[in-house]
Amino acid sequence: MNDLSHPGRIGYSLPQIPEDLFTVVGDLSKLIPNSMTRSTDLKLPEMSEPEVLRHYVRLSQMNFAIDVGMYPLGSCTMKYNPKVSQRIARNPNIANLHPYQDEGTIQGILSILYDLEKMLCEITGMDAFSLQPAAGAQGEYVGTLIIRNYLKDQKLDQKDEVLVPDSAHGTNPASAAMAGFKVIKIPSSQAGIVSAETVRGLVSDRTAGMMLTVPNTLGIFESEIAQVTKIVHEAGGLMYYDGANMNALLGRVRPGDMGFDIVHLNVHKTFATPHGGGGPGAGPVGVISKLADYLPIPTISNSDGRYRLDYDKPRSIGPIKSFYGNTAVLLRAYCYILSLGGEGLKVASEQAVLASNYLLSLLDKEFYNPTIPRGIHAKHEFVVSSSPLKRKSGVLAGDVAKAILDQGMHAPTTYFPLIVNEGLMIEPTETETLESIEAYGDTLNSIARNSLVEKDRVISSPHNAAIGRLDEAKASHPNTIILSWKQVKSSQTN
Amino acid sequence: MAHKFLPNSDVTITKTMLNKLGLTDAEQLYSDVPKDVTLKRPLDIPSALSEIELEKLLTQKLGRNKSYPEYLSFLGGGCWVHHIPSVVDEVLSRGEFYTAYTPYQPEISQGMLQAMFEYQSQICELTGMEASNSSMYDWGTALGEAGRMAQRVTHRNRILVARNASPERTAILKTYCIPAGMHVEIVDFDGVTGNLDLGFLASKMNDQVAAVYFENPNFLGIIEEFAVDIVEKAHACGALAIVGIDPATLGVMKPPGEYGADIVVGDGQPIGVYPNLGGPLIGIFATRMDPLLLRQMPGRLIGLTSEKADPSRQGFVMVLQTREQHIRREHATSNICTNEALFAVAVSIFLATMGPKGMKELGEHMIAKSHYAQQRMKEEGLEAPFFSGKYFGELSVRTKMDGAQLAKNLGEQGILGGLPLGRFYPDFEMVSLFSFNETHSKEDVDRLVSALKATTS
């Protein structure tokens, strides 16, 4: 962008400050202390509006997205983002609302958020929800803080261990550690689940709780969940449900009915809000009634049709982000739920599971080894190991991922969960057509076959992307790391 | 049922797919789920709405809100209504950006990666820092993460926070730092000037202080004229200086990197993002290019590198991922994964359109309007400014009325604001904060002044 700069060009238009206003206030520079006035030039590029637009449109054209093609990135639930929600979110009566407006002027949005909380309670089987967390990981932090504070109030401070399966997302152990817990890893069973027997051997009077994703990251339903929650509860611990994979279970299985005490949902996954190339998302947290007082402040209350933000919650873990959560994202989730309706949500999950099993059935098992036991259906996603392909050709899971990019499709999640060698984690979602699912299966199979005959081409892919494989070691090396154009410039002058 | 978002929900397509799997009913896909945890009734959620019904319903619900531009808005305090150039909306509505996931495959995500790199570069220019991450959730959580980072860098547990920094952000800092065993201690301000009390700060400093946090301009709108001294006091004890900023001021104000800040936090919302009732926002987080700081930094960083096959071709990738949760798990510097990437693009476009001249003019609007308002209010016998320190775009005003009541009364006249300080400081319940910028005309300010006079006299 710096190359596009031309001194004197401008890309903005602001009103003139009226002359008679200066006669009232005088010289502006005298109003700011010298010690705090900028004395160095601000070296931002100088561009006209058409150039700015073209620059960013060009960048957008070098970016893959769900609006462009199939994006079966496992555990990320890249489903279609409804356009009606986008249009609704542009309403100035949401976009321009200020968080410090008098409550009387924001009754409309508060009523929507209140209704959304109630719908999420119904979907998850929880008793109370907070819409505040900005993302799944922040929801996890909130959840683990709730566990911490609840146990403290029960005078159970010695409980300092949180159990987390070895197949869990990295955010689980990171969040538990942030809340001050020691993380105990649960090894997955042969069948790819958390077995009651293993959990029995790990719980103790130090067990504060367990974090679990259901279905787990292998796409397998935790069939011993009822026994597992019972064991953890008997040890005095709380059960935390990581909702990253809730898209498999809507309208069919509720975390509350499985015995979970705390739940977070990723609305940018399950409820189709756009992920924005990394964010914003939202990670609402629900709890059973005995934990409701611990939710972050403020909460939304309703009496006689008047909605209020309630800060007077002495047991609350406190505020966890500025203001009231990612409202504009939550509004889209609300629109999504209403667009599908209760029955539609259940169909969406069913369709997601169907798509995933259908794609799995298409893959050539000579190259891609399913991690799911025979006789069990994968849920919304599945994981295959491309170890057989590696043995036959030397081509790695990462190479397969890069070769897919050349076909105008996004790669699966690779090398995750960590317990699978050469793992490819695939989640087609319910919004892909039968035809595109078949095309994806064909692509994976033909890459495998090509690996045997033109390995060099596969391991040097992608060939049709904006750029080839990048030197990531150089990018992160202390001597060669570059984080800004300023740094590029100063290294050139040195 | 066939639904427009679900291409295979037509019965015949669903059947075809099931049959290929050797199944006859979708129920069979869930045969491994124990019956005792299965929901045996339909969800109590209304039936699907058509697009027309949905838009009507939402328009009606949202219509119960009052907002700018129908109402004049003078609210600030960490979130502001500013003008957003149309180009920002145009680019942000491109599905290539807003419907992408995190750029895990850099070869097909160069657009997002470059835009985030541009953002990092622009934030560095604006703040005078050397390394910006690609976003945090918001200012409050950026501060929380900065506090924890200071503990990891210094191995100390006390963090001193200015009482004239946002009390809400300070509360978030506590939610982040207390579980890490830190002590958050408040440093008072001078009730006359609104500036941080340097003597008070000096009395609290010792070799257990991990960091000192202050905002500039502070939450009361006052410029911390002696920021250099605050930073020096922190450094003299081996503590880090964390400075909170409103980026909209930095075309005119001295960037904190030039007075020694170690970490700069703030919100990018005022430069390119709609207020949205305070979320989503975009947290700014920038440090110096010091390996010790970089290693402990939270959040995603984008770096410039070259193609393996042809080193003359440049490209962008996520860097230093070994700090992050997906690799380091419980030893990560933060649990953050999803951030506010799309708004990094918004801020980047905003700054590209504004350039150095636009950012200076933006600051001048804030200064000119706030000082014009002050003169007009004073003429009308109102106590403005309440704090005597130099201010930028936010003006403190004391009236004879409780600030919350004042805001209600102004609301009836189609004006949003000011922010009642009594909400945060019981000792200032008659003081309100009014925020001014490029969206206000002289007539808008005059209207506010007349309304204030009419309401309070």
Q: Is the pLDDT of residue A75 over 80?
A: yes
What are B12-19's contacts with CB under 8 Å, separation 24+?
B13/A434, B14/A351, B14/A354, B16/A434, B17/A354, B17/A355, B17/A358, B17/A434, B18/A354
Of the candidates B209, B203, B213, B199, which has an alpha carbon nearest to the alpha carbon of residue B238? B209
Q: Is the pLDDT of residue A353 over 70?
A: yes
DSSP, collapsed to helix, strand or coil, labels residue B186 as strand
Put simply, the answer to whether A471 touches B306 (Cβ < 8 Å) is yes
* Cβ burial, residue A41 (10 Å; 0-12/13-18/19+): exposed
Distance separating alpha carbons of residues B399 and B384, to the nearest angstrom: 9
Distance separating alpha carbons of residues A396 and A382, to the nearest angstrom: 18
Average pLDDT over residues B23-45: 97
Put simply, the answer to whether A361 touches B20 (Cβ < 8 Å) is yes
**Angle A252-A254-A260 (CA atoms, 0-180°, nearest 5)?**
155
Q: Which of A38, A275, A322 sits opposite B278 (nearest CB)?
A: A322
Q: Residue A15: which domain range? A: 2-60
pLDDT for A2 equals 76
HEC profile of chain A? CHHHCCCCCCCCCCCCCCHHHHHHHCCHHHHCCHHHECCCCCCCCCCCHHHHHHHHHHHHCCCCCCCCCCCCECCCCCCCCCHHHHHHHCCHHHHCCCCCCCHHHCHHHHHHHHHHHHHHHHHHCCCEEECCCCCHHHHHHHHHHHHHHHHHHCCCCCCCEEEEECCCCCHHHHHHHHCCCEEEEECCCCCCCCCHHHHHHHCCCCEEEEEEECCCCCCCCCCCHHHHHHHHHHCCCEEEEEECCHHHCCCCECHHHHCCCEEEECCCCCCCCCCCCCCCCCCCEEECHHHHHHCCCCEEEEECCEEEEECCCCCCCCCCCCCCCCHHHHHHHHHHHHHHHHHHHHHHHHHHHHHHHHHHHHCCCCCCEECCCCCCCCCCCEEEECHHHHHHHCCCHHHHHHHHHCCCCCCCEECCCCCCCCEEEECCCCCCCHHHHHHHHHHHHHHHHHHHHCHHHHHCCCCCCCCCCECHHHHHCCCCCCCCHHHHHHHHHC
Q: How many CB atoms lie within 10 A of CB B28?
A: 12
Q: Which of B5, B128, B367 sits opposite A431 (nearest CB)?
A: B5
> Residue A392's beta-bridge partner residues?
none
Same domain, A115 and A6: no
Average pLDDT over residues A124-145: 97
Positive or negative, the CA dihedral A230, A231, A234, A237 is negative
Q: Is the pLDDT of residue B219 over 70?
A: yes
Q: Is the pLDDT of residue B323 over 90?
A: no
Put simply, the answer to whether A476 touches B122 (Cβ < 8 Å) is no
CB proximity A312 to B under 8 Å: no
Same domain, A348 and A307: no
Put simply, the answer to whether B101 touches A71 (Cβ < 8 Å) is yes
Q: How many Å separate Cα B443 from the centre of its chain?
A: 30
Same domain, A331 and A366: no
CA distance A288 to chain B (A): 16
* DSSP structure class, residue B10: S
Same domain, A324 and A385: no
**What is the secondary structure of B210-269 as a DSSP string?**
EEEEEESS-TTSB--TTHHHHHHHHHHTT-EEEEEE-GGGTTTBPPGGGGT-SEEEEESG
pLDDT, tens digit (0-9, with 9 covering 90-100), for A468-490:
999 999 999 999 999 999 999 88
Put simply, the answer to whether B63 touches A178 (Cβ < 8 Å) is no
Give the residue from chain A lying closest to B49, CA to CA. A339
CA distance A394 to chain B (A): 20
Q: How many CB atoms lie within 10 A of CB B47?
A: 12
Distance separating alpha carbons of residues B140 and B284, to the nearest angstrom: 10
Same domain, A317 and A418: no
Residue A297: inside a domain, yes or no?
yes
Q: Which of B58, B228, B329 sits opposite A174 (nearest CB)?
A: B329
Same domain, A202 and A119: yes
CA distance A58 to chain B (A): 8
Distance separating alpha carbons of residues A179 and B180, to the nearest angstrom: 7
Residue A135: inside a domain, yes or no?
yes
CATH number attached to the domain at B86-349: 3.40.640.10
Contacts of A3 (CB under 8 A, 6+ apart): none
Of the candidates A457, A383, A451, which has an alpha carbon nearest to the alpha carbon of residue A74? A383
Distance separating alpha carbons of residues A36 and A410, to the nearest angstrom: 49
Q: How many Å separate Cα B118 from the centre of its chain?
A: 18
Chain B neighbors of A186, CB-CB under 8 A:
none
Contacts of A459 (CB under 8 A, 6+ apart): A394, A395, A396, A399
Of the residues B43, B73, B250, B318, the best mutation for testing chain A's interface (the one with the most A CB atoms within 10 Å of its CB) is B43
Bridge-based pairing state of the strands A299-303 and A306-310: antiparallel
Q: Is the pLDDT of residue A491 over 90?
A: no
pLDDT for A222 equals 97
Put simply, the answer to whether B141 touches A137 (Cβ < 8 Å) is no
Task: Determine the straight-line distance between the first and last CA of chain A, rounded to whole angstroms.
Answer: 21
Q: Which of A62, A119, A481 sits opposite B303 (nearest CB)?
A: A481
Q: Is the pLDDT of residue B457 over 80?
A: no
Give the residue from chain A lying closest to B8, CA to CA. A433
Put simply, the answer to whether A431 touches B319 (Cβ < 8 Å) is no
Give the residue from chain A lying closest to B80, CA to CA. A98
Residue A211: inside a domain, yes or no?
yes
Same domain, A126 and A51: no
Q: Prior bond to B103 cis, omega within 30?
A: no
Domain ends where: A320, A339, A358?
A: A339
Task: Give the Å distances, CA to CA, from A94 to A35, B132, B212, B278.
Answer: 39, 30, 36, 10
Q: Which CATH number is A305's domain given?
A: 3.40.640.10
CA distance B2 to chain A (A): 9
Q: Which of B43, B255, B330 sits opposite A173 (nearest CB)?
A: B330
Residue A454: inside a domain, yes or no?
yes
Task: Give the Å distances, CA to CA, from B41 to A71, A122, A226, A265.
Answer: 33, 12, 19, 22
Average pLDDT over residues B29-36: 96
pLDDT for B322 equals 87
pLDDT, tens digit (0-9, with 9 covering 90-100), for B166-202:
999 999 999 999 999 999 999 999 999 999 999 999 9
Q: Is the pLDDT of residue A206 over 90?
A: yes
pLDDT, tens digit (0-9, with 9 covering 90-100), for A222-268:
999 999 999 999 999 999 999 999 999 999 999 999 999 999 999 99
Q: Which of A67, A96, A279 sits opposite B340 (nearest CB)?
A: A279
pLDDT for A494 equals 61
Across chain B, mean pLDDT equals 97
Q: What whole-number percentage of chain B has pLDDT above 90?
A: 96
pLDDT for B1 equals 72
CB proximity A41 to B under 8 Å: yes
> Residue B300's beta-bridge partner residues?
none
Distance separating alpha carbons of residues B242 and B264, to the nearest angstrom: 6
Q: Is the CATH code 3.90.1150.10 the one for domain B72-84+356-456?
A: yes
Q: How many CB atoms lie within 10 A of CB A9?
A: 16
Q: Is the pLDDT of residue A166 over 70?
A: yes
How many beta-carbon contacts under 8 Å exist across A and B?
722
Q: Which helix (H) or strand (E) holds B162?
A: strand B158-162
Same domain, A25 and A114: no
CB proximity A441 to B under 8 Å: no
The total domain count for chain A is 3
Put simply, the answer to whether A44 touches B125 (Cβ < 8 Å) is yes
CB proximity A373 to B under 8 Å: no
Across chain A, mean pLDDT equals 96
CA distance B177 to chain A (A): 9
Chain A neighbors of B362, CB-CB under 8 A:
14
pLDDT for A343 equals 97
Chain A neighbors of B36, CB-CB under 8 A:
226
CB proximity A189 to B under 8 Å: no
The values of phi and psi at residue A259, to 5°, are 105, 10
Residue A160: inside a domain, yes or no?
yes
Same domain, A138 and A214: yes
Q: How many CB atoms lie within 10 A of CB B155?
A: 8
B176 is written with which tokens? 């982040």
Give the residue from chain B lying closest to A374, CA to CA. B32
Of the candidates B324, B126, B303, which has an alpha carbon nearest to the alpha carbon of residue A173? B324
Q: Is the pLDDT of residue B326 over 90?
A: no
CB proximity A341 to B under 8 Å: yes
Residue carrying the six token digits 């020694």: B260
pLDDT, tens digit (0-9, with 9 covering 90-100), for B350-362:
999 999 999 999 9
pLDDT for B327 equals 85
Residue A72: inside a domain, yes or no?
no
A37 is written with which tokens? 């006035």
Q: Is the pLDDT of residue A118 over 90?
A: yes
Same domain, A329 and A360: no
Distance separating alpha carbons of residues A428 and A406, to the nearest angstrom: 18
Chain A neighbors of B300, CB-CB under 8 A:
278
Chain A neighbors of B317, CB-CB under 8 A:
470, 472, 475
Same domain, A144 and A260: yes
A292 is written with which tokens? 């409701």
B-proximal residues of A, 399-418, CB under 8 Å: 401-402, 405, 410-411, 413, 416
Average pLDDT over residues A425-433: 98
Residues A267/A284, Cβ–Cβ less than 8 Å: yes
CA distance B307 to chain A (A): 4
Average pLDDT over residues B327-344: 92
Of the candidates B187, B375, B340, B337, which has an alpha carbon nearest to the alpha carbon of residue B268? B340
pLDDT for B160 equals 98
Distance separating alpha carbons of residues B111 and A16, to the nearest angstrom: 35
CB proximity A305 to B under 8 Å: no
Q: Which pLDDT band holds residue B456 (cuts at 50, 70, 90)?
A: confident
Put simply, the answer to whether A65 touches B95 (Cβ < 8 Å) is yes
Residue carrying the six token digits 């003078």: B74
Residue A440: inside a domain, yes or no?
yes
Put simply, the answer to whether A44 touches B354 (Cβ < 8 Å) is yes
Same domain, A385 and A276: no
All structural domains of chain B with their residue ranges:
72-84+356-456, 86-349
Put simply, the answer to whether A486 touches B121 (Cβ < 8 Å) is yes
pLDDT, tens digit (0-9, with 9 covering 90-100), for B365-412:
999 999 999 999 999 999 999 999 999 999 999 999 999 999 999 999
Q: Which pLDDT band holds residue A493 (cuts at 50, 70, 90)?
A: confident
pLDDT, tens digit (0-9, with 9 covering 90-100), for B225-249:
999 999 999 999 999 999 999 999 9
ipTM score of the complex?
0.97
Q: Which pLDDT band holds residue B98 (cuts at 50, 70, 90)?
A: very high
pLDDT for A234 equals 98
Q: Is the pLDDT of residue A67 over 80?
A: yes
Put simply, the answer to whether B305 touches A474 (Cβ < 8 Å) is yes
Residues A395/A458, Cβ–Cβ less than 8 Å: yes
Residue A387: inside a domain, yes or no?
yes
pLDDT for B450 equals 97
